[in-house]
């Protein structure tokens, strides 16, 4: 991943995580999401079944802030980003998630919040999952 032509985050095998904070999210949801992410079994075992986590395989984490995941696309032809957390709150929660990940996992790289990032991904499979932890006040 690069910003203004400079590399800001690179990992080998592991998970690239597009991370989005929505309105109502707190550290509690961020911590629950991180726990789920670190334990999520998406890497193949010796039999080829998805039975290993990123922790089990000592894979890297590339955490990329991505507010556009909160886009409301239900009507019209232009997305609304109303569901996304305000930029200051999104940055605060992203930074919290990064700090917690760094304290619990060996290899953590990040994108740059608010920057125009050029992200390159080699998606094995391809395999892509959407993990979500709804806020407590979610209805």
What is the DSSP pairing of strand 60-65 with strand 14-19? parallel
Give start and end residues of each alpha helix (H) in 73-117.
Answer: 87-104
5 cis-preceded (ω within 30 degrees of 0) = no
State yes or no: is 81 an active-site residue: no
Catalytic residue among 26, 28, 43, 67: 67
Q: What is the C-alpha separation between 75 and 69, in angstroms, rounded?
A: 16
Angle between helix 27-39 and 87-104 (nearest 10): 40
Catalytic residue among 43, 66, 97, 110: 66
State yes or no: is 100 an active-site residue: no
Q: What is the C-alpha separation between 54 and 118, in angstroms, rounded?
A: 24
DSSP state of 114: T
Catalytic residue among 2, 10, 28, 68: 68
State yes or no: is 73 an active-site residue: no
Coil, helix or strand for 27? helix
Instruction: List, by residue number, the catalytic residues.
Output: 66-68
């Amino acid at each position: 991943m690069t910003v203004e032509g400079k590399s800001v985050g690179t990992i080998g095998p592991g998970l690239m995580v597009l991370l989005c904070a929505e309105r109502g999210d707190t550290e509690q949801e961020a911590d629950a999401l991180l726990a789920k992410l670190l334990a999520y079994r998406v890497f193949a075992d010796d039999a080829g079944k998805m039975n290993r986590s990123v922790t089990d395989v000592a894979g890297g984490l590339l955490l990329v802030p991505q507010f556009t995941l909160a886009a409301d696309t239900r009507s019209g032809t232009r997305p609304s980003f109303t569901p996304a957390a305000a930029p200051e709150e999104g940055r605060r929660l992203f930074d919290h998630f990064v700090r917690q990940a760094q304290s619990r996992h060996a290899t953590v790289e990040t994108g740059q919040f608010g920057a125009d990032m050029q992200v390159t991904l080699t998606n094995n499979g391809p395999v892509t999952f959407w993990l979500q932890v709804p806020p407590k006040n979610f209805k």
